[in-house]
Amino acid sequence: MIPTTYFVMLSAVLFTIGVVGVLIRRNALVVFMSIELMLNSANLALVAFAQARQDVGGQVLVFFVIVVAAAEVAVGLALLVAIFHTKRTTNIDEISTLRG
Amino acid sequence: MNSFGIPLLSIATWLPAIGALLMLFVRERSAQRLVALVASLAALVAALVVAVLFFQFLYVSAAATGPQLTEQIGWVPTWGLTYTLTVDGISLWFFVLTAFMMPFAIAATRAQQRPDANYALLLLLETGILGTFLARDLILFYAFFEFTLIPTALLLGIWGGAERNRAATKFFLYTFAGSVFMLLSIIGLYLVHGQQTGTYTFDYAAIAASLNGGAGAVLKLDPAAERLLFGGFFIAFAIKIALWPFHTWMPLLHSQTPADGSVDISAVLLKVIGGYGLIRFTLGLFPQAAQWAAPAIGVLAVIGILYGAWVAYTQQDMKALLAYSSVSHLSFVVLGIYALNAQGISGAIIQLVNYGITTSALFLAVAVLEGRFGTRRPRDLGGLWLVMPAFGAVTLTLVLASVGLPGLNGFIGEFTIIQGAWLSSALGWRFVGVAVIGVILAAVYLLTMFKHVFMGSLRVEQSNSVDISREQMLPLALLLIPIVVIGFYPNLIFDPIQPIVQQISQALSLAVASR
Amino acid sequence: MPQLTWIIALIPFFPLLGFLLNAFLIRNERQAGLVASVMVALSFVVTIASMVILASPLTGQPRLSVMLWEWIRIGSFRVSFGFVFDQLTAVMALLITGVGGLIHVYSISYMRGDIRPVRYFAYLNLFVAAMLILVMADNLLLLFLGWEGVGLCSFLLIGHWFERHSVPPGIVPADAAVKAFVVNRVGDAALLLAMAAIFSRMGSLNFFPNQQLGVPGYLERAGELAFTNLDLGTFGAIGLISAITFLMLIAVTGKSAQVPLYIWLPDAMAGPTPVSALIHAATMVTAGVYLIARNHTLFANAGGTSGWIVAIGLLTAFLAATAAATQWDIKRVLAFSTISQLGYMVVAVGLGGYVAGMFHLLTHGLFKALLFLAAGAIIHGTHESQDMRKMGGLKDTMPTTFRVYLIGALALAGIFPLAGFWSKDEIISHAWFGAQNPGAAILLMLTSGVTAFYVGRQIALVFYGKQRDNTYHAHEPDSTMRNPLLILAGLTIIGGLLNIPGLHFLATYLNPVLEEREVVYDTGRIIGQVALAVVTLAIVGGAGYVGWYLYAKTFVQRIKLGKDDPLVRYLGDLWRGAEIGWGFDWFYQRIVIRPYREVSLFLGDVFDKQGIDGMLVDGPGRLVGRMAQSLRGAQSGFIRSYALMFLVGVVIVLGYFVFRS
């Protein structure tokens, strides 16, 4: 079997890429994709540990995460489309009216 | 309950609020004014009945602490909250003063827009102030105390002068900040009392009884705790009574009040609350801490006396002048309170009453001037006594009452406070020696103001200068009556308060002994 | 007879009634003057009646007293509103109502056609009432009511013509009125402290015991105060009684216009002349002397203060006399003269010569009132001039006025056998023999010389030579003004009989109250006193003649309106200094008033607005504002920075939990 460590490392790398993507990328869609990447990296870690511990609970949790991710994407994309209608841009730097 | 079974105190307190409520239904302007006046005058009648009953009890049955008329309903028993209204020697005259002065404020007000709201707010304010003097439950007191802030801030903010927002905000936040400390003290006192005696209550009489008895008291506070609790109450009332250096909200407020003088009268009564609170709470509950703090407070008071009079001398706005004058007069009151003896406290009480009447009358006089000539600057006026002989004479009498001329009310309070402070073990002759300079300075700024406005050559247009109308003269003349009567027969005020004042001063001297 | 003691309450009651009538009901000038005068006359009659009752053996008490009501009652602090009538009071009341009544009658004519005569008479009555309350009060607090009451009336009457921009010689009435009140207030503040001190030790402010109140009288217990001290910290300790008497001295300095608080009196001449006669010559200013006389038991026990009293009295007497010699305004001469003569009285009571002081108080009340009223006649007669440079030669055009004025002036100078001679001589003799203070006596004699000089000068300038200003036609006063003058002149001539050495009627009369040691007239004393009198007369006669001669003969050509006094050439700055009252006014203006104003402006605009309000009150507000401002930076609306903050926060929290275990 592939050692769990590799899975976890891959998960970490993917998570980091996702985080970096959220922080750096300006296009809202790409930010969403990065968020998805983070969520999926968490999924990968969960599956790996489920396999390692022979506990199916981890895989159940994955389903929860996928559902939440799907819901979040739905709401987020809807918001993004609404914003795009008004602001005609997907550049998140320009959506700053809710400032202090 | 009092002997008739009628809750007179509650009636007197809530009648104005009912009047305010009625404002919702009355549409016509003159009817609104009528309703407002009726409500406040009815409250006055109730207050006078209470006073008469009080006098009756005073001379019929002299209980140790003097007669009390109490009304009590449970409010939130599990927390020890009750709705308790009591009138005793200390609150009696402030209660009557408020009921007496608020009709003047209502009669004086001349709001052009939303007069119904104006009357309603004044009436609600009256309820708040009356409640403050009568409440005997600490939280109830706090509630009424805070409640008075809202109508005042609104009255100021809606109908005030150019900088009304700043004045209202500053007044509200400053006074509010002070009362937050008081709330902490109230809660602290509640907890300490509960821990030591097992009864958790906010009832003033119960707490005072527990603290009473010197060495044998049920509730013993250690000095640090007592001083902290004292401080919380003190800060709130010091700000309220505009003790130096907590006075700066006052000149701003008075310079921004509406020109008719109604809010000025209300503000005067608010300051009287400050004096009442100092006597009732800081002296009544924490005698040892009061002894400890008295010299320092005395210093602040003496500074205030001189400072207020000194700054008043060059004020160009007569209302600001009266505000600084108030600082000076009220500092005298504080000096009397912290003399911690019967003369000082009695002098302080009568001086608060005098202040309420005289300064309100002066504000009304300034309102007449501003209404007639459109200015509050003495330099713009001059020689008015020539064309307004009656008004000049009345204003001069008011000025002299404020200066403390013997024969008028101000002198009685002034001298009793001086006497009390000299005899005081906490203060003494050094404080008095400096404080009397205030007597000289008062003559300086008040007579100079009178001179600039009424003497010298006439500066304003002759056509505007007819002597004041009967309608404007009436309130001033009415106010002159107590000014003269109290000056010659102050025992009217002094007698009812003696039992409880003696009790407080005895507790204070016990506090020295048990230290 | 004892049942009638209550009538003493009528003495101040009548003038008070007159005030109320004139203030609220009467509108007619004639009625006002009549009512006012009648009220004072009634007071006078009751005073005489009270004196009769007092002297009657049926009374059996040393004094008449009536308590109207209890004024203040706070525990053991009890003060009555009551009157007392003893010999000292009687003498003062006679002066007040007698001379006051004459002045009221005089005013009826003098104030004819005035802009507000009814108010004038109301105030005048109020003044008499207040002054009577002062001398009849049975306790210090009520005395203080009268004390401040006369101060108030002074304000009202000096400022009677408040709308005028200036009156001769250039005073603003409104300013003079405020000045009088404020300067008096300084003394009043001191008296307040003295009262507090007396009560603190004696438990009472009553002069005499009062059974109804259950309070003792403090006068007879003055000795008890002798050993109490006030600790002044680094300044050591001061005897309480010294402190009290010193505070009273300050009060006297204000009310009786002594150095350094006399500055209000010369300016008080802005009021109508009868006011100057009544208030600033005969009565109000004498209140200070009365205060000391009434409290003589205190002063007898306070050795240290006596020195101060005498020093102030001497200084005032001399300086004021020199100032009087340099004035051009006819009333201002008399004003400074009053200050100077008050100095004599103060010296007298300071040296324990209470009878001498009271004697001079009475005679001075008579002849100074006479002088002022006569000056009023001159002012009216010369069409409102007050500058003596505009007068001259009036002895021919106003002969009666000249004669009465001369009588008053000679009495002032102290010429035998007029009243002033006797009373001044009494003081000087007491100083030399009674109090063993020859220095004071000599200084007083020199002052008498200066007094005679300015008297001679004034007589010469006003009455001799030729009329220098021809814009008016001098005329005598009418009978309503003339009769009081004649009566006062008559009294001045015979006034000395009151207390002639040997007979000493006044001393005997006042003895029950003042308890002074009888003067023992052995040969030494008689010779000494006669010698003193002769020397004084010589000085006075000489100086008076010189003063008259210089201005009636030598300089008479050089007196012109607008030009300086001829003596300025020889005395230069000394003359100018005296003319401005030795700089007290200037001092107060520069060192007191202007800095006071500057500090007031500073405190109001800078310290209060920017300092206390700006820093302490608005400060926290601004601090909160700035904190909010800086925190606001974090809410940039920038989604990416929010995300970064999330990340950092999560890392920290997780890291805490991970590393904790």
Query: What pLDDT, in 10s, does the model give residues C43-97?
Result: 999 999 999 888 887 766 788 889 899 999 888 888 999 999 999 999 999 999 9
**Mean pLDDT, range C113-118, rounded to an integer:** 91
Instruction: Tell me which of C72, C144, C153, C624 to substitute to probe the interface with B (most B C-beta atoms closer than 10 Å).
Output: C72
User: Which residues is C387 bridged to in the sheet?
Assistant: C329
C591 touches chain A (CB under 8 A): no
Q: pLDDT tens across C601-615, in order?
A: 999 888 888 888 888
Chain A contacts to C (CB-CB under 8 A): 19, 22-24, 26, 92-93, 95-100
SS3 state at C80: strand
List Cβ neighbours of A23 (8 Å cut-off, separation of 6 or more): C640, C643, C644, C647
Which of A24, A92, A100 is closest, CB to CB, to C639?
Answer: A92
What pLDDT, in 10s, does the model give residues A23-38?
Answer: 998 898 999 999 999 9
Q: How confident is the model at residue C569 (pLDDT cuts 50, 70, 90)?
A: confident
Whether C643 contacts chain A with CB within 8 A:
yes
Whether the predicted interface score ipTM is above 0.90: yes
The strand pairing partners of B165, in sequence order, are: none
SS3 C493: helix
Mutate to test the interface with A, among C632, C635, C639, C646 (most CBs of A within 10 A): C639
Contact C162, C178 (CB under 8 A): no
% of residues, chain B, pLDDT over 70 = 94
Read off the pLDDT of each residue in B368-380 and give the average, rounded to a whole number: 89
pLDDT of B1 higher than 50: no
**Residue B56 corresponds to which tokens in the numbers above?**
């009756």
pLDDT band at residue C236 using 50, 70 and 90 as cut-offs: low
d(CA B264, CA B275): 17
User: Phi then psi for B245, rounded to 5 degrees?
Assistant: -95, 30
* pLDDT profile of chain A (100 residues), mean per 10: 89 95 90 94 95 91 95 93 87 78
Please name the residue of chain C whose CA is at the shortest distance from the CA of residue B433.
C193
Of A19, A24, A100, which is closest to C635 when you measure between CB atoms?
A: A100
Confidence (pLDDT) at B63? 47
d(CA B336, CA B348): 5
Interchain proximity C639–A100, CB inside 8 Å: no
Residues in chain C closer than 8 A to A95 (CB atoms): 637, 639
The answer, for C196 touching chain B at a CB cutoff of 8 Å, is: yes
Cβ pairs bridging A and C (under 8 Å)? 33
Q: Quick one: pLDDT at residue B349? A: 96
- Three-class DSSP labels, C608-633: HHHHHHHHHHHHHHHHHHHHHHHHHC
pLDDT at residue B413 greater than cutoff 70: yes
Q: Which of residues 469-508 of B touch C (CB under 8 A)?
A: 488-491, 494-495, 498, 501-502
* C206-218: average pLDDT: 83
What b/e readout covers C471-502, taking b as 16+ CB neighbours within 10 angstroms? eeebebbeeebbebbbbbbebbbebbebbebe
pLDDT exceeds cutoff 70 at C592: yes
**Number of cross-chain residue pairs from B and C with Cβ atoms under 8 Å apart:** 153
**Mean of all residue pLDDT scores within chain B:** 89
Q: Cα distance from B246 to chain C (closest Cα, Å)?
A: 8
Record the tokens describing residue B13, joined without a space: 């307190």
Which residue among B436, B488, B494 sits closest to C189, beta carbon to beta carbon?
B436
Per residue in B41-86, pLDDT (tens digit) is: 999 999 998 888 888 776 655 444 445 677 777 777 777 888 888 8
Q: State the smallest CA–CA distance between residue B448 and chain C in angstroms.
A: 7
Give the contacts of B369 (CB within 8 A, at least 6 positions apart): B318, B375, B376, B381, B384, B453
Whether pLDDT at B2 is above 80: no
C588 touching B, CB under 8 A?
no
Instruction: Give the pair of three-digit tokens for residue A7.
Output: 């899975």
DSSP-assigned beta bridge partners for residue A61: none
> What are B183's two structure tokens?
């709330």
CB contact residues (below 8 A), chain C span 81-110, against chain B: 81
CA atoms of B215 and B222, how far apart (whole Å): 12
Cα–Cα dist B8/B46, whole Å? 6
Higher pLDDT, C385 or B139: B139
The CA-based diameter of chain A, rounded to the nearest angstrom, is: 53
Q: B384: exposed, middle or buried (C-beta count within 10 Å: 0-12, 13-18, 19+)?
A: buried
By C-alpha distance, the chain C residue nearest A19 is C647
Chain centroid to CA B468: 28
Contacts of B342 in chain C (CB under 8 A): 74-75, 77
Residue among B248, B311, B432 whose CB faces C196 most closely: B432
Tell me the nearest-neighbour CA distance from C563 into chain B, angstroms: 30
Give C 282-321 residues with CB within 8 A of chain B.
none
- Report pLDDT for C59: 66
B465 — pLDDT class (breaks 50, 70, 90): low
Tens of pLDDT, residues C215-228: 888 888 877 766 67
State the nearest Cα–Cα gap between C634 and chain A, in angstroms. Answer: 8
Q: What percent of chain C has pLDDT over 70?
A: 98
Looking at the complex, report in whole angstroms how far the Cα of residue C640 sits from the nearest Cα belonging to chain A: 6
Of B307, B346, B447, the CB nearest to C603: B307
- Asked whether the beta carbons of B18 and B63 are under 8 A apart, the reply is no
Question: How far C68 CA lies from chain B's nearest CA (Å)?
Answer: 11
Residues 6 or more apart whose Cβ sits within 8 Å of residue C196: B418, B419, B422, B423, B429, B432
Chains A and B: 3 or more CB pairs within 8 Å of each other: no
Inter-chain contact C148–B405, Cβ cutoff 8 Å?
Answer: yes
pLDDT of residue C251: 95
pTM of the model: 0.90
Q: Which chains touch A (3 or more CB pairs under 8 A)?
A: C
Neighboring chain C residues of A93 at a CB cutoff of 8 Å: 638-640
To test the contact with chain C by mutation, choose from A22, A27, A83, A94 the residue with the greatest count of C C-beta atoms within 10 A, namely A22
Cα C503 from Cα C355, distance rounded (Å) = 13
Instruction: State chain B's maximal CA–CA distance in angstroms.
Output: 74
Residue B464's pLDDT is: 66
For A95, which of C631, C639, C644 is closest by C-beta distance? C639
d(CA B233, nearest CA chain C) in Å: 19
Give the pLDDT band of residue B111 (cuts 50, 70, 90): confident
Mean pLDDT of all residues in C258-277:
92
